[in-house]
Amino acid sequence: MLSGSATRCGMATWPGSLWYLFDVGTMRQYRLRLTGPRATGARLSAVALADLLDAVINSTRHALRLRVDGGGLTGATPGWLERASDFIVLPLEAGSTHVVFESQTLAEAVPDRFAQVDFDLGLEPDMTIFEVLEESLGEALAGNPSSDKFDAALLKTFGRFGKLWRHQIEGVEFEGGRAIRLDAASMARIEGLQRQIPADQRTIVVGKLDQLHHSKRMFTIRTDDGSDLRGVLATDEVVVASLGELWGRRAQVAGTVKFKASGAPLLIEADSVVASEGGPSVLSKAPRPLFQSLPARGFHKSQGPRSGVSAIFGQWPGDETDEEVEALLAHSS
């Protein structure tokens, strides 16, 4: 997907046609190749282009926000996320239709948040939001059940690319380091992976508050079984400064846990964090899903003359005679 970089200047206009230049930093190009009967040149219907941009904008934003603070697309879009996803769309290119984007790195777009390497989140300052998307899509298409780069909601957002099939576009290829192609078959695999992820559930976890990220409203809690559970404060009612008093101490966290496809916890959205000295050890372990998703294929069993419904029809489970059954029915009527 990465095809080059250059230092560019943009242009803007004020009323009265007064132009001025502004530096947009080092831009990297990313190319998406469209395939199908309607993807044959540097022309694309406005509706198809709108569906593509909708999928790209929402997928890049969702992928980055999940990595940063565990959030999704609900609610107002944070300012830092808008800046990180403010990429440029260049003119279409012919061949198979190519849609070309230019994007700044995370550090250039949002220096106050991404100036340094974040080892906990696996994000580097010189990454762009397209590379973040590429990582999440790559792991989803590989069916990695232990990945922390996607959740059920992000997989659903990836489904927006499927709107392109109605425009006689059969595939979207990311021309970069990863071999990523989205088409009807790959989207079906993503939908299957989405169904595999257990539903969110309420939980209480007890453990040592091990790490705090004040600016990101995030923390890590270590349970007695040695698990490190990433948490994010889901409500402003929990004051981040107050958690400093709990650092290194035993705490009780109540909230909603999100799971990976493997059934392991991805993170907990906490709405309560309180001291819990001597809290019960039965709650100090990694949460597990109460209701694991089951593949529908497991319920599809072929039936023969001695199985399924055929094994029931014509059979009476008791040893009563016909006369005894008739007498019982007559007595009860």
Distance CA 226, CA 276 (A): 18
Domain 201-283 is found in CATH 2.40.50.140: yes
Question: Bridge partners of 14?
Answer: 18
pLDDT band of residue 141 (cuts 50, 70, 90) is very high
How many other CB atoms are found less than 10 A from the CB of residue 155? 23
Mean per-residue pLDDT of the chain: 82
pLDDT at 283: 86
pLDDT digits (tens, 9 = 90+) for 296-306: 454 455 666 66
pLDDT at 15 over 80: no
How many other CB atoms are found less than 10 A from the CB of residue 253? 26
SS3 category, 52: helix
pLDDT digits (tens, 9 = 90+) for 153-183: 999 999 999 999 999 999 999 986 678 999 9
How many other CB atoms are found less than 10 A from the CB of residue 308? 12
Distance CA 290, CA 21 (A): 57
pLDDT at 13: 39
Task: Give the pairing of strands 2-14 and 265-275.
Answer: unpaired
How many other CB atoms are found less than 10 A from the CB of residue 72? 18
pLDDT at 5: 53
User: Could you tell me how many residues make up the chain?
Assistant: 333
Output b/e per residue, 211-231; b: 16+ Cβ within 10 A: ebbeebbbbbbbbeeebebbb
- Percentage of the chain modeled with pLDDT above 70: 76
pLDDT at 151 over 80: yes
Output b/e per residue, 80-113; b: 16+ Cβ within 10 A: bbebbbebeeeebeeeebbbbbbbbbbbbbbeeb
pLDDT at 292 over 80: no
pLDDT digits (tens, 9 = 90+) for 178-198: 789 999 999 999 999 999 999
Which phi and psi (to 5°) does residue 41 adopt? -175, -170
Question: Bridge partners of 252?
Answer: 206, 274
What is the mean predicted confidence (pLDDT) over 35-48?
92
Which phi and psi (to 5°) does residue 165 adopt? -65, -25
pLDDT at 18: 35
pLDDT at 10: 47
Instruction: Please name the residue that has the structure tokens 């990694």.
Output: 286
Report domain extents, the chain. 2-196, 201-283
pLDDT digits (tens, 9 = 90+) for 222-248: 999 899 999 988 877 777 777 778 888
pLDDT at 318: 57
**What does the DSSP 8-state code read for residue 11?**
E
pLDDT at 47: 96
Distance CA 266, CA 262 (A): 10
pLDDT digits (tens, 9 = 90+) for 262-273: 999 999 999 989
With beta carbons less than 8 A apart as the criterion, state whether 272 and 255 touch: yes
Which of 10-19, 65-74, 159-168, 198-207 shows the lowest mean pLDDT across its residues?
Answer: 10-19
pLDDT band of residue 19 (cuts 50, 70, 90) is very low
